[in-house]
Amino acid sequence: MAEVTLNIEAPVAHVWDVLADGWSYAGWVVGASHIRDVDTGWPKPGTRIHHSVGPWPLVIQDVTEVVRCEAPRLLELDARLWPAGAARITFTLRALSESLTEVRMAERVVRGPSTILPNVVQDLLLTPRNKETLQRLDDLARGRS
């Protein structure tokens, strides 16, 4: 499982606000290029973000669905990217102080051809992407502070 952590200089509520704004995902999730729609009620379990991944014109249309939501501390997603497969992504937020939030992002491939890759290879591929994702989340959350 690829796991990264970043301390963000923003209150938990501001970090959560970014996670809870499905329309913002293309702005901070590495690889997401366009948000086509966000289900009403996001991020309640079962709701989806309808997104595009990749550079134009090689765009793949897919969805990310909320598996579990415990606002404002946990968001678990089923992120699909067919034909590569799907991943389970969990964001965990923990207040270190009133203005500092620890964000942990854990990702593991759960379905599709990518599951045959050894865990060490998955980690090598996912960790740099997820570090950049958290850096972008940091920028947006601090911008709300």
**Domain spans of the chain?**
2-144
DSSP state of 62: E
38 beta partners: 49
DSSP result, 70-93: ETTTEEEEEEEETTTEEEEEEEEE
**Whether 92 contacts 73, CB under 8 Å:** yes
DSSP state of 116: G
Say whether domain 2-144 belongs to CATH 1.10.10.10. Answer: no
Q: What is the mean pLDDT of the chain?
A: 94
Residue 145 has pLDDT above 80, yes or no: no
pLDDT computed for residue 82 by the predictor: 74
CA-based max dimension of the chain: 44
pLDDT in tens, 59-89: 999 999 999 999 999 999 999 977 778 999 9
Residue 112 has pLDDT above 90, yes or no: no
pLDDT computed for residue 13 by the predictor: 97
